[in-house]
Amino acid sequence: MADLDAVAGELKAHFDAGTWYEALIPHFAETIEVEHHPNRAETDGPTAGTVLAENMRGAHFGDLLRDARQELVSLDVAPDSITASQELRGILQNGTELRLPLKQKFTFADGKMVGLDHYTDPADTDALMEAFRQAAAKQAESE
């Protein structure tokens, strides 16, 4: 069974290094229920732990943001979950500074991580979605 206080300590150390997901991957269940709140994403639903690990390791905001970083604001440990409040920061391609507050809840059962819930305010995500659109258009132009 996972000691969630120890996992939270590993998570904090990895946040400081910029590789927060590496603290969680060893605890992934075979299948993890992924949800985005309040707006669902096309990737929501049951996801193989191996696929989620690949996605997390490959998800870098450097293509969208200069000086991209995720800063940990707080970690809260409950009997069956860890909630990380954080802020995604960087400079968009158009020069606008982005500061996007977000929260992730990692749910555990039988010592394994079985749930990942992402919480954002839709109003705060408009700039990030615009950055995704710009990056996609730029990539399409270069192909």
Q: Give me the CATH number covering residue 100.
A: 3.10.450.50
- Total number of domains constituting the chain: 1
Give residues with Cβ within 8 angstroms of 76, minimum separation 6. 82, 83, 85
Residue 115's domain comprises: 4-142
Instruction: Rank 15-19, 63-67, 108-112 by mean pLDDT and report only the highest.
Output: 108-112
For residue 139, the model assigns a pLDDT of 65
CA 22 to each of CA 8, 12, 129, 130, 133: distance values in angstroms, whole numbers, following the listed order: 12, 11, 25, 28, 28
Give CA–CA dist 65/50, Å, rounded. 27
Confidence of residue 143 (pLDDT cuts 50, 70, 90): low
Task: Tell me the two tokens of residue 141.
Answer: 């132009």
Write down the pTM of the prediction.
Answer: 0.82
